[in-house]
A and B are shown apart, each in its own frame.
Chain A
Amino acid sequence: MNRAWKRYLSWAGIAALTGVLAFAAAGCGGSDKKSSETSESNLPTKIGDGEGRLNLVAWTGYAQPQWVKPFQQQTGCQVRAKYANTSDEMVTLMRQGGGTQYDMVSASGDASLRLIKGGDVRAVNPDLIPDYDNFIEELKSPSHNTVDGKHYGISLQWGPNTLLYNTKVVKAKPTSWAVIYGPQYKGRVTVPDNPIQIADAALYLSKTKPDLGIEDPYELTEDQLQAAVDLLKQQRPLIKKYWASAADEIELFKNGDVVIGAAWPYQTNTLVADKAPVAETIPKEGATGWADTWMLAKKSKHPNCAYKWMAWVSTPKVQAQQAIYFGETPANKKACAVMDQLSKGSCAQYHADAPASYFKQIKFWKTPSRDCGNGEQKCVDYTRWQQAWTEIKG
């Protein structure tokens, strides 16, 4: 009995100690709230000397040696880039280490407002970016990075999420997203492993089931969300694999495991360069898309290098290089001519000369919020989207 008692006591001791330590740690974590309210109106009026380093969180392919190397030589800022696969991952990475680990992020519209409201990024002065004046009007002060007249970052590139297909198996060019929701290519379909994919289903439903009344695929009521979830659950058995990264999808297409799926132009470009029999299209229902912004971390230790980077990636040449490499559309109007120099016809191919109506037709990623974007309070927020996504996959 004595021994049993001893054992219980030692267990109780360990439990108590663990509890005490846990609470101590919890206490430490709770006290770092205030620092985010510091003043931010004093924007810099000129770019100072570089700090020698720049840490980026970027989409795959956004920090290619092609334009990073000359930047490093010119400014002395050594660039370290961490590629992220989803907007959620980007937001998380920007908050790591108390928000001091990374200087900049190439946030899409569904991450930018979360970062602004969360106090993770600071306002920037667009006057310090010479090429800002050459941007298309829609991307000078878009609502996804400009709040109350303050610019939280400089727009970069934009583009549509496309339908990628294997031309050997899918003979006729698909005209509707219905091909990835119907049984035609059962077990050979792939879509991104990303809750924002619900918006793609909602966009499809907004055209095929108008009585649901979906106007904006990101502002859904519970009923509308449920309809999109039902469609995606029905799609579940058709899916070979939800792709986690661009490289993942490239491999799936290359090995013949999938023949059709939702993709970024980057995958198409990489596969075509690899002589894989693929093509992409934007079906008649339209497409979701992204508009990316380089944002500056509130606690960045290398702000001068960051401004130099924003100025650099806004120049027509870098804009053109990145547009062609990734397969997206530059924000800088002057990039069009350079694109055609680098690769004939690429300006038109990636819509760099398209009219404003083309831009308006793409439903750009944004964070779903409870107030429907117009204060109506009947929509479901992003947490609900995430739960729904786990439900669909599970």
Chain B
Amino acid sequence: MEAGRPLGAARRRLGAAFWRRPWLRPVVLLLPPLAWMTILYLAALGVLFVSAFWGVDAFTGKLVHTWSLANFDTLIHEPTYRTIAIRTIVMAALVTITDAIIALPFAYFMARIAPPRLRSLLFVLVLLPLWASYLGRIYAWRLILAKEGALNWSLDKVGLPTVDIAYTNTAMWIVFSYIWLPFMILPIYAAFERIPDSYLEASRDLGARNWTTFRRVILPLALPGIVAGSIFTFSLTLGDYITPDLIGSKDFIGNVIYRNVLGLTNNLPFAAAYATVPLIVMAVYLALARRTGAFEAL
């Protein structure tokens, strides 16, 4: 009881201070997240960018703090890194398109056709894989696609010729498309759900058939959702290195960075330089996505 009184007084004084200075409240409220954002996020990006201009000692592999453009020079003039960057971007684009094609009818069915109970069930089914470990699912795919794995076993049982796609780009494409699919379905679903029924009725009243309604009313209204989903699938594929490592046999941008960080003599500066490539690609992508109004659909 005794200790309660000064505490109460302090609280009152604090309350008064907040009342007298209205700007104090947002500052106190925003300071921790802002500090977090600047120190842990922006500063880390800043260090990343600065260290891209450093180098490493050839024999010991230790960091050398001298400024040079050597890393960027290697990136631009060494065709290997260009090939890897293009391979990564093309794969990200392919996965995005595949996911969009699969997700569109699925999300449409979920949002506009399925009865409520089936809709909840489908929701659970879409979200359920996200509860299992990403690594666990990738290893499962390794076993499915292996030469003597589940896929070939099944094909053999039903009398079809077996396929040899383990550790190829095809395998990577399948697994990437599978893993990121929920991230495409959800925003498209949200976009479909938001379309008012009256629009569709109006379209029908004006004589449009189903296909025309879909093409000229539903699809344009769902586009921001598709673009929002594509931001996820594109960026997640662009930055992944575990799937290429375990499922594929060719390097992605992330693998080169990983090997330069933990592997190839700890060449952090080069890793930093290469990390700017996906950053730039993503910046361009987001700038384009913004134009379609995708940010409102997120």
| B-binding residues in A (CB < 8 A) | 14, 17-19, 21-23, 25-26, 29-30, 86, 88-89, 91-93, 95, 114, 117-119, 187, 195, 239-242, 244, 251, 255-257, 367, 369-370, 381-383, 386-387, 389-391, 393-394
A-B contact pairs, 12 of them (CB 8 A): A14-B42, A21-B42, A22-B50, A89-B262, A91-B265, A91-B266, A92-B261, A239-B249, A241-B167, A251-B142, A370-B59, A387-B78
- In this complex, what residue of B is CB-closest to A115? B60
Contacts of A367 in B (CB 8 A): 59
Q: How far is the CB of A91 from chain B (nearest CB, A)?
A: 6
A390 with B80, Cβ < 8 A, contacts A95-B266, A256-B146 known: yes
Question: Are A92's CB and B263's CB within 8 A?
Answer: yes
Q: How far is the CB of B286 from chain A (nearest CB, A)?
A: 14
Q: How far is the CB of B272 from chain A (nearest CB, A)?
A: 11
Q: Bound state CA distance, A337 and B39, in angstroms? A: 60
Contacts of A256 in B (CB 8 A): 146-148
- In this complex, what residue of B is CB-closest to A23? B50
Partner of B50, one of A26, A95, A119: A26
Partner of B47, one of A25, A89, A95: A25
Q: How far is the CB of B21 from chain A (nearest CB, A)?
A: 23
Tally A-B pairs: CB < 8 A: 120
A92 with B262, Cβ < 8 A, contacts A14-B42, A21-B46 known: yes
Q: Bound state CA distance, A369 and B264, in angstroms? A: 15
Contacts of A95 in B (CB 8 A): 62, 266
Interface residue total, chain B, C-beta cutoff 8 A: 46
Q: How far is the CB of B119 from chain A (nearest CB, A)?
A: 39
A18 with B245, Cβ < 8 A, contacts A88-B265, A390-B256 known: no
The 8 A-B pairs at the shortest CB distance, nearest first, are namely A22-B46, A255-B146, A118-B60, A394-B80, A21-B43, A18-B46, A256-B148, A241-B249
Q: Bound state CA distance, A92 and B271, in angstroms? A: 14
Q: Bound state CA distance, A387 and B265, in angstroms? A: 11
Contacts of A18 in B (CB 8 A): 38, 42-43, 45-46
Q: How far is the CB of B33 from chain A (nearest CB, A)?
A: 15
Question: Are B266's CB and A21's CB within 8 A?
Answer: no
Q: How far is the CB of B245 from chain A (nearest CB, A)?
A: 6
Contacts of B250 in A (CB 8 A): 393-394
Contacts of A394 in B (CB 8 A): 80-81, 83-84, 250-251
Q: How far is the CB of A25 from chain B (nearest CB, A)?
A: 5
Question: Are A257's CB and B59's CB within 8 A?
Answer: no
Within 8 A of A (CB), among B79-128: 80-81, 83-84
User: For the complex, is B58 an interface residue (Cβ under 8 Å from A)?
Assistant: yes
A391 with B80, Cβ < 8 A, contacts A23-B50, A25-B47 known: yes
Partner of B58, one of A17, A242, A251, A382: A382
Q: How far is the CB of A49 from chain B (nearest CB, A)?
A: 34
Contacts of A88 in B (CB 8 A): 259, 263-266
Contacts of A393 in B (CB 8 A): 250-251
Contacts of A22 in B (CB 8 A): 43, 46-47, 49-50
A92 with B50, Cβ < 8 A, contacts A257-B147, A390-B80 known: no
Contacts of A389 in B (CB 8 A): 264
- In this complex, what residue of B is CB-closest to A92? B266
Within 8 A of A (CB), among B275-295: none
User: For the complex, is B65 an interface residue (Cβ under 8 Å from A)?
Assistant: yes
Question: Are B166's CB and A240's CB within 8 A?
Answer: yes
Contacts of A383 in B (CB 8 A): 56, 58, 265, 267
Contacts of A25 in B (CB 8 A): 43, 46-47
- In this complex, what residue of B is CB-closest to A390? B80
Contacts A369-B59, A394-B251 supplied; 10 other A-B pairs, CB < 8 Å: A14-B42, A30-B65, A88-B259, A93-B262, A114-B265, A256-B148, A257-B166, A383-B58, A383-B267, A387-B74
